[in-house]
Structures are given as structure tokens and as C-alpha cells.
Amino acid sequence: MNLIVEKNIYLENKETKGFLADVFYKDTTEKLPLIIFVHGYKGYKDWGAWNLMAEKFAEAGFFFVKFNFSHNGTTAADPLHFADLEAFGHNNYSKELSDLGVVIDHFSGNPHVDGEKIVLIGHSRGGGISIIKTFEDERINGLVTLASVDTLERFPKEAAFENWKNTGVYYALNGRTKQEMPHYYQFYEDYENNIHRFDVERATEMAKAHMLIIHGTDDEAVEVKQAEHLHILHPNSELFLIENANHTFGAKEPWAEKDLPKDLHTVTEKCIDFIKEKLK
């Protein structure tokens, strides 16, 4: 059966700005479960092996969506590079949750989608965002976190924080692109103004969706104990640890291979099995 792939679909968000999304699905008349992939910090929809992962989900019978957050630093004209660092600096959690809401609203009404079966898959910081959205939106009945954080309180400490507050900006080096990526102080202010909404621990406890927590034991960016913590918080969750896997499960940018890296293949197969079981 042929796969239908639609790339760089433009979505408008009046609360933020326009952004792009991709869809992958089988050419079939049946309505398919909707899977939405949520990228993480310094991430974007076309990073690494995400396209190969999307194809695997589509082949398994899902309507798979991945998208760029409106303020992730990419642009509609250039989705493959951080071409708009000013937008990156003005990103915050409220904007990401708003963008995710637009994606859910848009694709849940697609004629190929079963709107009763909606699953979020969030990587890294995108895991924290997905947990909060799952708690807030009862349409979501499945949640998978990949190398997820267990808190969104991830800011500079002490002297660095004071400098950020005084100057209004701090910079993080992107090790791959060598760009100095700005973060304006509004990012922290948005967190403080919505601190209860952005409580990942509380959202994990309260979320009613089936939850699968996947983490690599050699994750260099988010410690595996954060996955174990999420598992404790959600009484009906499943914890799946991959021995020696790193933060991106073996993927990197660029990814020139024709197949998924071994660990990301394991992740994808586990996700597919879990979702099929829980959405029966």
C-alpha cells in the first residue's frame, strides 16, 4: 500500500505565528489513529532520523504528524536551519502549548483521522510539553515520552541567572551549528506567571491517558532518573529503558543512512506495539 507524504503544510496560529507540519499515512479509506510528534529544545521536525521514524509509524497504520514549533528558530522559508534566532529567543512554554493545540485541532478533523484516537509522542523538552497538554486536553488518550524531562524548570543558576535578569538575554551555544542561541528573559517570566500550569509532576499524576515512558540508560542530556520519577508519578504508566542508549537513541543530524539507528528502531517498534495495544 502506498504511503502518502505531505511536507511543509502551513498552519496559522493567531496567538504566535505560522509554522510548518508534515503528515505521513497509508493511502486507505479507513480512519487512522492520529500520532503527533513533539520535538524538543533546539529540535525541529526534519532533524536526524525523524522522517524515517515517521514512515515506520505510517506503515504501521497511523496518521503521523510532526511539526516545527512556531518559535523554534526555523522559518517557513527555511525549515532546515535556525534562520530566525530572534524568534528562538522569544520562544516560551505558553507558545509551544498554543502551537500544539493548533496542530491537534487541525489534524483531528482530517477526514483520514479517527478523532477518538489521539496520541502524543514528545522528545526531551517536548515530552514535558506533551505531558501538560495531555492533562489539559481530554481528547488525548495516549502519551509516549522519549528521553523526557520531568520538570520545565530548567534555567540558569545563581550568578548566571542574575546576569540573565539584568541583561535580559543569555546565550546557549549550539554545538552542532556553532550558533549562539539567545534566550530572552521573557522565557522565565512566562514560566513564573504560569508556574502551576507548567508543573510537569502534577500533570503526570493527573493525566488520564495511557502513558509509555522510554529512556536510554546513557542519556547525556536528561538523566534516566527523570524517567523513573515520571513512572512513579503516573500509576498506570509503563517504563521502558534501553540499555546504553543516548538522548537521541543513536540518531544524529544529518542522518544519511537508509535505516533507523538500532536504538531508535527499538523505540519505534515499542511505541507501535504499545499504542496498538492501548487503542484497541
Structural domains in the chain, CATH included, are 3-153+199-278 (3.40.50.1820)
pLDDT digits (tens, 9 = 90+) for 62-73: 999 999 999 999
d(CA 37, CA 131): 12
pTM above 0.95, yes or no: yes
pLDDT at residue 1, rounded to an integer: 72
Q: By percentage, how much of the chain surpasses pLDDT 90?
A: 99
Mean pLDDT across the chain: 98
Q: Taking the CA atoms of 23, 24, 27 and 33 in sequence, report the sign of the dihedral they define.
A: negative
pLDDT digits (tens, 9 = 90+) for 215-268: 999 999 999 999 999 999 998 999 999 999 999 999 999 999 999 999 999 999
pLDDT digits (tens, 9 = 90+) for 192-201: 999 999 999 9
Quick one: cell of 131? 505531558
Quick one: cell of 155? 534555567
pLDDT digits (tens, 9 = 90+) for 111-159: 999 999 999 999 999 999 999 999 999 999 999 999 999 999 999 999 9
In the predicted model, is pLDDT for residue 175 greater than 80? yes
Average pLDDT over every residue of 10-21: 98
DSSP string across 190-220: HHHHTTTTT-HHHHHHH--SEEEEEEETT-S
